[in-house]
Amino acid sequence: MMSIPAFAKLQRDIRACTICAENLPLGPRPIFQISRTARILIAGQAPGSKVHASGIPFDDASGDRLRDWLGLTRETFFDANCVAILPMGFCYPGTGKSGDLPPRPECAVAWREKILSELAAVKLTLVVGQYAMAWHLGPRNNIWLKKNPWFARDVATGIAEADQIGYPIKKVLQRVRLSVLIASNLKCRIIGRNKTTS
């Protein structure tokens, strides 16, 4: 793990990043939220134009839905000490014929491992969208499932346990298409926090 000044420098370096600037129609504006104390990681896709304008991750209708489904207040959701938000591409990638373009691939290559290795407190990751799933979970065929028993163990167990105590994970999974919750021991704490903050 890097020193605190090095971690701060890493964030400054990312905010000053121009690696794929020539492919960004509105120019670089990296948008993410991290801290070493965050217990929840939301791994998303890339900012849309509205988020690019505001500079605040998930500050749009999809963010409102996500907060609603997760039962998190805006205050908790935007508290970097609690929740890290790390899209696959930090800058708005532009729009194509069928909506926003995919996250710029250079971004994860340049920054993702460096950041994730610093987020040691994360106990639960919410993976939103196919690009985040591909990065965090890889191809999930039978061979992969055999090599990664944690997926069946932690995800299935987490969903079942959360369901038993009333956390709407199944509802979240039904509504957030192509998404999955990687559950762990933190799930009970999240539920506790929801009750006190919502």
Strand, helix or coil for residue 127: strand
Q: How far is the CB of 109 from ligand SF4 (least distance, A)?
A: 8
Q: Judged by CB, which is closer to ligand SF4: 67, or 136?
A: 136
CB of 130 closer than 8 Å to CB of 140: no
Instruction: Please give the backbone phi and psi of residue 100, each rounded to the nearest 5 degrees, phi first.
Output: -60, 145
Site string (73-102) toward ligand SF4, x via CB under 6 A: ----------------xxx-----------
Tokens, residue 6: 């090095």
**What would the x/- binding string for ligand SF4 be over residues 167 to 196, using CB under 6 A?**
------------------------------
Taking the least distance from each CB to ligand SF4, the nearer of 56 and 110 is 110
- Nearest alpha-carbon partner for 90 in 31, 130, 48: 31
Nearest in space to 107 (alpha carbons), one of 127, 84, 86, 122 = 86
To the nearest whole angstrom, how small is the minimum distance from the Cβ of residue 154 to ligand SF4?
29
Binding positions for ligand SF4, 3-62, rule CB under 6 A? 14, 17-21, 28, 30
The residues pairing with 99 across neighbouring beta strands, listed in sequence order, are: 96
Between CA 181 and CA 36 the distance in angstroms is 20
Applying CB under 6 A, which residues contact ligand SF4?
14, 17-21, 28, 30, 89-91, 104, 106-107, 110
